Structures are given as structure tokens and as C-alpha cells.
Amino acid sequence: MSDTSVMVSADAAAQLFVDTYGYEPSGVWSAPGRVNVIGEHVDYAAGICLPFAINRRTYCAAALREDGVIRLASRLPHSRKASQWEGKLAEVGPGSPSSWPGYPAGVIWSMWQDAEAIGVNLTENSGFDMVFVSDVPLGAGLSSSAAIELAAACAVFDLTGPGLESLDEGRVDEPSNHLVAACIRAENDVVGASTGGLDQSVSFRGQAGEVLELDMGENSVAEVPFDLDSNGLAILVMNTNAPHNLGDGQYASRRAVVDRVMEGLNVTAPHREHKLVDRAVEWAATQPEAEKKKNKQAWLDLVARRMRHIVTESRRTESLVEALRKGALGDPKDADAVHGLESVGGLMTASHESLRDDYEVSCPELDSAVDAALECGAWGARMTGGGFGGSAIALINAEDVDKVEKAVLASAAHLGLAAPSFIVAVPSEGAGRDR
């Protein structure tokens, strides 16, 4: 039942470009969505995350213009007609354009603002024709936004700069860092959706067969072995098909609490601080908003829960990374591997419980999927992405994919929820040029 979505390709992007603009593109670039194994809602708190790029991509066919005009077109897999937008680079900026064009247009604008550091030759007269096709599910919490951003950024970098081949292996050099930062700035400032950078980093730097340990405080990237296939394991993505929107204020409200505490206590890495939760509550009690709350204690309890998640989530991630480096992903048919799998799965499930109870970003659809997968024998399961809808993931035996899918579907039907859809996620390569 998995992997039934319409697959797209570089050729499909090139053909849409010709159909839309009447000439051949200069090239086609693509970038993947992502799954985060653990380390959720800590990327903006200098925490540690463990994502991988998935086998779902957004393709961008593009060509350079010299009149300052940006023309964009995007066609969804099941749609016959492309959505189009046209505007001037000089008119792009915070809040404009809105909706999906804000992502690629925002990236072009953001790279223009930091052109020297990135190493691209962009001016007010720079323009682009671009089209996009994608099989990254929209609204599923798999970062379709980062995929379109990085696909566009790679096109711009190749067409106006030294090209992707000039970047260091692993893409942790300064031009790479500035390119990723430009994509983050586009989403934060132009689109107005708060993001901490996890999505953009893994979409750009992902490696086949690996998860990336991203230490957002140290700005470091390390590859961690994540060999699922040869061990008879799978990561099942359970897209709840519940609406997922990080621009509705829920994400921002939680981040605001964390940002205030970190600034107020002058903390740079919460998970490495001693008794931070207690200190955060003591600090919050002295702030003016505490006295304005109708229920001061409820407010202080909320601060405690939010910061407890921030601290414990990165520590769980550290423990999971350590387990993976010691070979915890073994064949489930090997009795000696069971303890390692139980350890990894237990950390994933504890992450979901923290996101559900302390950070309060889960929802009935996500809880239903996680609970059903666990009851069906998953080693561990958790929501992934920003929450409030979107997707959950489960670490399962590969032979159990159909069984787990049926259990998740049955649970959703019993609760009167939307029917989930599924992807078996494979750790894949990051953004690059396809033709």
C-alpha cells in the first residue's frame, strides 16, 4: 500500500519548462524532503537533531534572465494546469510574494542580499524562469518547503556562481553555510513561517544510507550510519492527512517562550545547562507577563513543560546517536540485536510523549498513528516535523509494512479521522543537479 504517489522526474520538470516558456531550460536541479528521526523543535534552541533526506524530491528546471523578471510555474502531480507567478526581483522582500511563490522568489532575493558571501553574481537586473514539479507530499510535515527552496537555490548557485562542484565535500564550507542561511531567511522573512534550519540543512547535505547529526549550537554536521535495508528494517512515514500549517501561530508561540528564556538566562545550549528547567521557572516568575496572567502558576507550569522538552529532547538525541554508532540497528531476527532496537525505539517513543505532553504539538491524528504502530509491534514511533498535523514515523521490521499500515488505517477509521497515506522513507542524497 505504500509508495503509491505519482513519481516525478527531471524530465517532467524540463518538459513543463518547455511547455510553459517555449524554450529549453539551462538545467534541472532537485532537492529532497526530510524525515527527522529524533530531535524535534530543538533546532532553534541550539539543540541536536537527527534527520535524513528522503526519497521524495522537488525538481526545478531553470534558466537565467537579464531583465530583473522572475517567472515561476508549479504543477502538482495530479493537476493538468500549472500555477504561475511573475514579478520583479526588486519587488521581492519580507511578506511578498505570498503563498508558494514566496519560497523560490524569497530564496533568489535572499541570495541577492548575501551575494558576496555565497559567491553568486546577482544584481537588480538578475531574473529567472523556473518551473517546479514535486512528489514531496504537501502539508505532510516532510518539508516540501525546504525542498523547493534548495532546488531553487542550487539552480541560482549554478547559473550565477561557481557551481555546486566548487563546494567542499559534506557542504559545510562558508559558501554552503551562507546558501543554507539564505533559504532559512527566505522562509522566515519572505514567507513568514518560522524555521530553525534543520530542514534546509538536511535537504542540502543529506547522504544516502546516513542520518545527519546536526548540532545547531555548534553548527556542526556529522554523518551517522543508518542502514535499514540490510538489517530488514524500515522507517514507515504515516501521513495523517490532517491539515499541517506552521504559519498559524502555534509554532511561533512555542518558539517565543524558548527564545525568551534563552535570552533572559543568557543560555546558548539548553541541554548542556544544569537544572535549566528550575532556573527557567524562577526567571519567568520575575517577568512582567507573569503578573499579567490570570493564572500565574499555570503560566509557570507551561514554561517548565516547554523547557523540559527542549532539554530532554537533545539529550535523547545524543543517546540515540551513541546507540547507532555502537551498532544498535541490527537484524531483528538476531536475538543480540533486540536490545539495541528496543533502545532506539524507546527513545523515539519517549520523544513523541514529550512532544505530546510537554510541548503540546501533537494531535489526535498523530497520536492515533503512533499508538496503532506501537500496538502492532513497531520498535518505536513518533510524530515528525512541526506537528499540529502532518506525519508520524515508525521504526518497524520491513516485513511488517503492510500489517502496520492496516493497523494505522483501522485506528483512524475507528476514531473517525482522515485515512492516512504511507511512504517507506529511504535515506537519500541531498540537493544537486540532475541534468
Pick from 189, 198, 183, 12: nearest CA to 104: 183
Query: In sequence order, which residues have a C-beta less than 8 Å from that of residue 15 and are 6 or more positions away?
Result: none
Pick from 263, 297, 267, 295: nearest CA to 281: 297
How far from chain centre, in Å, is Cα 296?
Answer: 34
Q: How many CB atoms lie within 10 A of CB 423?
A: 26
* Catalytic residue (choose from 199, 358, 400, 434): 199
- Sign of the four-CA dihedral 48, 50, 56, 59: positive
Cα–Cα distances in Å, from 158 out to 85, 142, 169, 428? 23, 26, 16, 21
199 is catalytic: yes
69-75 sheet: strands from edge to edge: 83-88, 69-75, 127-134, 51-65, 27-36, 432-433
Q: Which residues of 127-148 are buried (b: 16+ CB within 10 A; e: fewer)?
A: bbbbbbbbbbbeebbbbbbbbb
- Cα torsion 172, 173, 177, 180 to 10°: value is -70
Q: How many CB atoms lie within 10 A of CB 165?
A: 8
- Sign of the four-CA dihedral 154, 157, 158, 164: negative
Residues 8 and 135: their CA atoms lie apart, in Å, by: 6
Letter for the amino acid at 77?
P
Residues 391 and 37: their CA atoms lie apart, in Å, by: 12
Residues 352 and 361: their CA atoms lie apart, in Å, by: 10
- Look at residue 269 and give its three-state secondary structure: coil
- Phi and psi at 89, nearest 5°, equal -55, -40
Could you list the active site residues?
A: 199
